A and B are shown apart, each in its own frame.
Chain A
Amino acid sequence: MSIFTPGLVHTPVTPFTSDKRIDFDRFAKLIEFHLCNGAESLAVPMHAGESVSLTDGEQQALLESTIRQIRGRVPVIAHVSDSGTAIAAARASRAEAAGASAIVATTPYYWSTTLPMIVEHFAQIASAVHIPFFVYYSPDEMGAPKFNTDLVLKLIDRIENLAGLVDASQDWQFMISMILHVKRKRSDFQLLTGVEYMVSAGAVGATSLFSPLSGVAPVLVKRLYDLCRLERYFEARKPQEEISALRQVFKKEGAAGLKGAMRAMGRDCGEPRRPLLALDAAAYEKIASTLAAMPCLKDEPRGW
């Protein structure tokens, strides 16, 4: 299998109309925005895109819409996570047929899982396709058992098309130990960081970045990514701290906060779907006024 390096991966939100249908016109505009602002790959629909609140059919439609809009300009990674292994595997298979360049999936939603169950879950999803498969590890969001190096070595043994691990644990011990041992067995295995904390992850071997904040501050995200890829980590400290400060502004509000920040930057993508609640006016105003006062956002595009 040829090596697919995702690079700087933008993970767009999913725009909704006022009656909470997917706003495909707005989504096409959003895809163009990401392409013009540094995306080397797109991953849809990640949790930032409210994947969990989309029906199976909607996820497929969104993926197909993305691939049509992009017309091969950058690779598209399909996020297929679900509770049921067979559901996720079927989604992966359809994504490949639709033209996705790679698949990404996280641990099953809701179920209490063990590490052997997780191996089996990923193995079945990955074996449903012939394109690269990435594991997304996000223990804080998912509540799954903590991964260790042995688990990833087992995944390597079982999954021929396992191309890498997207890490949102940000756990230095896990990342360093895992990548050291796994690369000995599969030298082209990739460590990717699933949040914009790339200085530490890059310093210990991460080479790609999945960026939920790319819709808000693509210039800053690209500055951080470019410096890290050049291994200029000391210079990357400033954009790293700026992105961290930006993330704290709306982190607590989750997907609603991210959409609020998008709106404050002139890229209104509507409100999140239930069960998430929209920001109230005061919460939105607080985010908007905080972002307006942040010097690190002065170079960022406003509007589309």
Chain B
Amino acid sequence: MSIILKGVMQSTVTPLKENFALDTPTFERLLDFHVRTGATAISWPHHKGESLNLTMAERKHFAEVAVKVVAGRVPVSIHVSSLAVEDSMMLARHARQIGADAIIAITPYFWRPSPEALYDYFVNLGTSVDLPLIVYNSPHQLGTEITGDLIRRLIERLPNLVAMKEASFISEKFVEISRVVHAAKPSFSMIAGVEFLAPSAPLGCVGSYSAAGAICPNLCTQLFDACISGQSVRARDLQYKMIRLWDLFRDQYPSSLKGGMVLMGRPVGPTRPPLPTASRERQAFIAAELKDLGILETEPHGW
């Protein structure tokens, strides 16, 4: 049971038909697109993949499609977080059955559990399946966080805890977690939640998940290469370019991202309510921004 996580990993969006049903052929094309354009791993369904707007049956179905289409070319992680912990445990077992390479889980939704309850949750999840576990820290969104102390205790308890998706994007939080985990387990992988690689790579971050990879896979790869090789000036310039895309897409995420994909010749349909679907006006705004950034000329169009 081992998995190597590095580089810019793609958490795919969830393609939907106009009636909001899952669009399986487009999902297959999208997975293949990501693998062909440099994704170092695939992970599905993050919030960007509208995880919480999918039924359990839909999540299991697309998880199976992802594992089948990627077919071992890169590792596939399944995000198992659900409102009910029982569902998360069920999705973890399912991920194991279908041959996924890892599971990823955020701190539980809504309840703001205490540090002890978080410890209990992740121990239960991590011991329920013999798959590598990636924990996902997003204190701004969930009002609860995985501190250095908590992750150290979890590492001591769970040999399959291999990585953290860190999405606080706050220097002190990142440094403290990274410092503590690398002292406890040097092989542990710190992964930035999205492509904030210039501020994190020098601190031991080995890669990121991706907000913009479906739009600009080339930029993702260039940014990672510049950051990990210490080309500080180039890294900063590319990070400045990437922040404009993040600012563009995090507004109505992932609706704007899906809107942008239409412009890149990779339409993936609407976004399920309560999230809006990018309007024509929003698409026009996104088009102007992508043009200004030179994305239309430098990134692949179509599948």
- Interface set of A (CB-CB < 8 Å, partner B): 169-173, 176-177, 180, 195, 197, 199-201, 203-205, 231-234, 236-237, 240-241, 244-245, 247-248
B230 CB within 8 Å of chain A: yes
12 additional A-B residue pairs with CB within 8 Å, beyond A176-B239, A195-B172, A241-B203 = A170-B171, A172-B169, A172-B199, A176-B198, A176-B240, A180-B244, A199-B199, A201-B171, A203-B199, A204-B198, A240-B175, A245-B179
**Contact residue among B175, B204, B232, B247 (Cβ-Cβ distance under 8 Å from A244):** B175
Separation of A234 and B200 alpha carbons in the complex (Å): 10
Scoring A201, A203, A236, A248 by chain B CB atoms within 10 A of each residue's CB, the highest score goes to: A203
- Interface set of B (CB-CB < 8 Å, partner A): 169-172, 174-176, 178-179, 196, 198-200, 202-204, 230, 232-233, 235-236, 239-240, 243-244, 246-247
Please report whether the interface of chain B is mostly helix, strand, loop or mixed according to DSSP.
helix
Separation of A205 and B199 alpha carbons in the complex (Å): 10
CB neighbours (8 Å) of B232 from chain A are: 203, 231, 233
CB neighbours (8 Å) of B196 from chain A are: 172-173, 176
**Residue contact B243 to A173, C-beta cutoff 8 Å:** yes
Separation of A146 and B126 alpha carbons in the complex (Å): 36
Separation of A176 and B244 alpha carbons in the complex (Å): 9
Separation of A173 and B211 alpha carbons in the complex (Å): 13
**Residue contact B169 to A240, C-beta cutoff 8 Å:** no
**Residue contact B172 to A197, C-beta cutoff 8 Å:** yes
Separation of A232 and B236 alpha carbons in the complex (Å): 13
Identity of the chain A residue whose Cβ is nearest the Cβ of B176 in the assembled complex: A244
CB neighbours (8 Å) of A232 from chain B are: 230
Separation of A245 and B247 alpha carbons in the complex (Å): 32
Identity of the chain B residue whose Cβ is nearest the Cβ of A230 in the assembled complex: B232
Separation of A231 and B233 alpha carbons in the complex (Å): 9
Our count of residue pairs bridging A and B at CB distance below 8 angstroms stands at 83
Separation of A204 and B197 alpha carbons in the complex (Å): 10
In the assembled complex, the CB of A302 is this many whole angstroms from the nearest CB of chain B, namely 25
CB neighbours (8 Å) of B246 from chain A are: 173
Please report whether the interface of chain A is mostly helix, strand, loop or mixed according to DSSP.
helix
**Residue contact B202 to A236, C-beta cutoff 8 Å:** yes
CB neighbours (8 Å) of B171 from chain A are: 170, 172, 195, 197, 199-201
**Residue contact A233 to B179, C-beta cutoff 8 Å:** no
**Residue contact A176 to B170, C-beta cutoff 8 Å:** no
Identity of the chain A residue whose Cβ is nearest the Cβ of B194 in the assembled complex: A173
Separation of A152 and B25 alpha carbons in the complex (Å): 46
In the assembled complex, the CB of B77 is this many whole angstroms from the nearest CB of chain A, namely 23
Identity of the chain B residue whose Cβ is nearest the Cβ of A198 in the assembled complex: B171
A-B contact pairs, 18 of them (CB 8 A): A170-B171, A172-B199, A173-B196, A173-B246, A176-B199, A176-B239, A180-B244, A197-B171, A200-B171, A200-B174, A200-B200, A203-B199, A203-B232, A205-B236, A237-B202, A240-B203, A244-B179, A247-B172
Separation of A236 and B179 alpha carbons in the complex (Å): 13
CB neighbours (8 Å) of A201 from chain B are: 171, 199
**Residue contact A200 to B240, C-beta cutoff 8 Å:** no
CB neighbours (8 Å) of A205 from chain B are: 236
**Residue contact B236 to A204, C-beta cutoff 8 Å:** yes
Separation of A234 and B240 alpha carbons in the complex (Å): 20
In the assembled complex, the CB of B22 is this many whole angstroms from the nearest CB of chain A, namely 32
CB neighbours (8 Å) of B247 from chain A are: 177
CB neighbours (8 Å) of A204 from chain B are: 198-199, 236, 239
Separation of A244 and B202 alpha carbons in the complex (Å): 15
In the assembled complex, the CB of B147 is this many whole angstroms from the nearest CB of chain A, namely 11
Separation of A8 and B286 alpha carbons in the complex (Å): 41
